[in-house]
Amino acid sequence: MKLFVYHTPERTPEDNLPDCAVVIDVLRATTTIATALNSGAEAVQAFSDIDILMEKSERWLPDKRLRAGERGGEKVPGFDLGNSPLDCVPQVVAGKRLFLTTTNGTRALQRVSQAPIVITAAQVNRQVVVNYLLDKQPETVWLVGSGWEGSYSLEDTACGGAIADLLIKQGKMSLEAIAGNDEVIGAFSLYSQWQDNLLPLFHKCSHGQRLLRLNCHEDLEYCAKTDILDVLPIQKEPGVLVK
Ligand code: MLT
C-alpha cells in the first residue's frame, strides 16, 4: 500500500485516480457525515452547488429529507440544519437522507468521486478507516484534505498523519515504505507533535479560529475526539455516502 497526501482538492492530480480515495474534512464536513450515518441517517448526499442540491432534494419525500450545510461556516438560510455534527442526533436524522453542501468538504468529495472506492475520514472514525484499509489493502490510497478555498488546512493534514500513524503501527510498516509523497511524512510529523493536543491545535488553525468566532466551541471539542465512532462512510454512487 502506498499513501499519498494531497492538501486540497485543487492540488489533487486530475490525470489519474487511486484505488481508494479517503476524503478528509475534520472541521467539519466529514465529522458531520460520520456522525449522521452513525445516528441512523439513510445516506448523506453531498453537493458543492446549492442550486443542484435544491433541485435534487425537491424530488425526495419531504419527511425523508433534511437539507444541511454552510457557507463560511454559517447555516445556509432556509436549510433544516447547518454543518454541526452535534445536530446529527438520532431523533433528528434517523431514517432521513441528508442533502449536504459545504464550502470545501463537498468539493473534495466531488474531486475524487470517480475513484473505484471513496470513503470519508475524520478523527472521530479514524480507527474504522484504518481497519478498512488494512483489510482491503488497496495499492494506492489518496488522503485528500479539503483545505479552505484552495489553501492548506492544518486539521486535515493532522488527520492524514493520524491515519498514517495507525496504519504504520497496526500494519507493521515503516513510514518510508508507506509514504508515496513527502506530504505523508509532513502529515505524520505534524500529528506526532500534536497527537495529545488536537483541541489546542484546532484552536490555533485558521478554520478553528473562524468556528470559534461563530461560537462553535463544542463542535471543535467533538471534532477533536479520536476513534469514538464505529462507522465507515462509503460512496455507493457518486456523491452518495452510506454506512
Ligand atoms: C467545509 O466543507 O468547508 C467545512 O465543513 C466548513 C464548516 O466547518 O462547516
At 7 the pLDDT is 97
Distance, CA of 141 to chain centre = 15
Residue 211 contacts residue 102 (beta carbons within 8 Å): no
At 151 the pLDDT is 93
Q: What is the DSSP string of the chain?
A: -EEEEESSSTTS-SS---SEEEEE-TTTHHHHHHHHHHTT-SEEEEES-HHHHHHHHHTS-GGGEEEEEEETTEEPTT-SB-S-GGG--HHHHTT-EEEEE-SSHHHHHHHTTTSSEEEEE-GGGHHHHHHHHHHH--SEEEEEE--BTTB--HHHHHHHHHHHHHHHHHHT--HHHHBSSHHHHHHHHHHHHHTT-HHHHHHHSHHHHHHHHTT-HHHHHHHT--S------EEEETTEEE-
At 89 the pLDDT is 98
Distance 103 CA to ligand 1 centre (A): 6
Return mean pLDDT, the chain. Answer: 97
Distance 24 CA to ligand 1 centre (A): 11
Nearest CA-CA partner of 37 in 226, 235, 237 = 235
Model confidence pTM above 0.95: yes
pLDDT grade for 215, boundaries at 50, 70 and 90: very high
Pocket-testing residue among 7, 8, 10, 25, ligand 1, by greatest number of atoms within 8 A of Cβ: 25
Residues 234, 150, 198, 19, CA torsion sign? positive
Distance 148 CA to ligand 1 centre (A): 8
Can you tell me which atom of ligand 1 is nearest the CA of 30?
5
Amino acid at 148: W
Beta-carbon count within 10 A of 23 CB:
34
Distance 25 CA to ligand 1 centre (A): 7
At 41 the pLDDT is 98
Pocket of ligand 1 (CB under 6 A): 25, 27-29, 70, 73, 83, 102-105, 146, 211
pLDDT grade for 122, boundaries at 50, 70 and 90: very high
Question: Which pLDDT tens digit goes with each residue over 79-96?
Answer: 999 999 999 999 999 999
CA-to-CA distance for 30 and 152, rounded, in angstroms? 16
Percentage above 90 pLDDT, the chain: 100
Question: Which pLDDT tens digit goes with each residue over 190-207?
Answer: 999 999 999 999 999 999
Percentage above 70 pLDDT, the chain: 100
Question: Which pLDDT tens digit goes with each residue over 32-63?
Answer: 999 999 999 999 999 999 999 999 999 999 99
Distance 171 CA to ligand 1 centre (A): 31
- For 221, phi then psi, to 5°, come to -60, -45
Can you tell me which atom of ligand 1 is nearest the CA of 29?
5
* Kind of pairing between the strands at 140-145 and 234-237: unpaired
Can you tell me which atom of ligand 1 is nearest the CA of 210?
8
Instruction: At 70, list the grid cell.
Output: 454552510
Distance 165 CA to ligand 1 centre (A): 25
Residues 47, 225, 117, 156, CA torsion sign? positive
At 96 the pLDDT is 98
At 68 the pLDDT is 98
Pocket-testing residue among 81, 207, 210, 221, ligand 1, by greatest number of atoms within 8 A of Cβ: 207
At 70 the pLDDT is 95
Mean pLDDT on 151-161: 97
CA-to-CA distance for 14 and 140, rounded, in angstroms? 15
Can you tell me which atom of ligand 1 is nearest the CA of 219?
8
